């Protein structure tokens, strides 16, 4: 392969590496924020449940106060019962007692419902706390991996940038200019292979046989007549070229 073509292929590989590393570095804060958001979600679930438990307990305490009022009322009527003079008064008080008692029962029923509810929410809090704990560990691991990746990507970026600069000084300025011109026009892809049946692998336009013949030699800078990308040829791997017979 001509050294020029070889350098341009390497240049394109370095540019792809640089682009990818830059993209990763730029994405890093966003990926951290996404990890934090997933952690907040789990925290929020615990907070919501704790608030629900508090609400349930507050409601139960309010019912207890209400129950105490009815209990006192029942006790008071029962005391009065000992002092009544007439049958009529007695019946009236019995009626009051029955009413207060049935109100007390209703309140105690609600209290019981709140207790069962609190038990259920307490179970859900335990589950949510376990999930939060697991999520916390997961996010810690993820952040460690992200930090490691960032360091790697910064190193890759530095090395590729240095490599690119070295490659540029070793390459004919006109070739670099051609490479950059095509790369700009073609979304960074200035070089591509010719397919084995003689087409440009990116724009798929068929090459003239004489052009394809030249491309196969890999010893000159030849551009696709349609997309202007610089073409090179990758010969088939030996195994593919001569398949081993199945015994």
SS3 205: coil
Count, residues near Zn ion per rule CB under 5 A: 5
Q: Is the CB of residue 101 less than 8 Å from the CB of residue 74?
A: yes
Using alpha carbons, list the distances in angstroms from residue 44 to 34, 37, 112, 207, 222: 15, 10, 28, 62, 61
Asked whether position 227 contacts Zn ion by CB under 5 A, the answer is yes
Binding residues among 21-40 for Zn ion as defined by CB under 5 A: none
State the Cα angle at 192 between 190 and 197, rounded to 5°.
150
State the minimum distance, in angstroms, from the CB of residue 198 to Zn ion: 12
Between 139 and 222, whose beta carbon lies closer to Zn ion? 222
Asked whether position 193 contacts Zn ion by CB under 5 A, the answer is no
Asked whether position 194 contacts Zn ion by CB under 5 A, the answer is no
Asked whether position 224 contacts Zn ion by CB under 5 A, the answer is yes
Asked whether position 226 contacts Zn ion by CB under 5 A, the answer is yes
CA distance from start to end of the chain: 36
How many residues does this entry show for the chain?
247
State the minimum distance, in angstroms, from the CB of residue 208 to Zn ion: 13
State the minimum distance, in angstroms, from the CB of residue 135 to Zn ion: 49
Asked whether position 67 contacts Zn ion by CB under 5 A, the answer is no
State the Cα angle at 178 between 173 and 182, rounded to 5°.
150
From the list 190, 200, 207, 230, which residue makes contact with Zn ion (rule: CB under 5 A)? 200
SS3 231: strand
Asked whether position 203 contacts Zn ion by CB under 5 A, the answer is yes
32, HSE (Cβ side, Cα atoms, 13 Å): 13
State the minimum distance, in angstroms, from the CB of residue 17 to Zn ion: 23
Interface with Zn ion by CB under 5 A: which residues? 200, 203, 224, 226-227
């Amino acid at each position: 392969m001509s050294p020029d073509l070889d350098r341009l292929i390497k240049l394109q590989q370095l540019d792809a590496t640089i682009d990818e590393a830059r993209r990763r570095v730029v994405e890093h804060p966003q990926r951290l924020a996404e990890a934090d958001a997933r952690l907040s979600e789990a925290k929020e679930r615990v907070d919501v449940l704790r608030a629900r438990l508090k609400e349930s307990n507050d409601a139960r305490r309010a019912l207890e106060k209400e129950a105490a009022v009815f209990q006192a009322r029942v006790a008071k009527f029962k005391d009065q019962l000992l002092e009544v003079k007439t049958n009529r008064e007695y019946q009236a008080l019995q009626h009051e007692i029955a009413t207060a008692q049935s109100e007390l029962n209703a309140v105690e029923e609600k209290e019981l419902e709140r207790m069962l509810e609190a038990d259920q929410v307490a179970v859900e809090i335990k589950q949510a706390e376990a999930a939060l704990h697991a999520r916390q560990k997961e996010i810690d691991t993820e952040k460690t991996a992200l930090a490691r990746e960032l360091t790697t990507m910064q190193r890759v970026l530095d090395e590729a940038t240095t490599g690119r600069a070295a490659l540029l000084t070793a390459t004919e300025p006109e070739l670099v200019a051609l490479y950059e011109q095509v790369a700009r026009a073609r979304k960074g892809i200035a070089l591509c292979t010719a397919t084995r049946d003689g087409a440009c692998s990116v724009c798929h336009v068929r090459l003239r046989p004489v052009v394809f013949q030249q491309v196969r030699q890999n010893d000159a800078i030849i551009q696709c007549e349609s997309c202007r990308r610089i073409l090179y040829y990758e010969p088939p791997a030996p195994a593919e070229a001569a398949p081993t017979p199945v015994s």
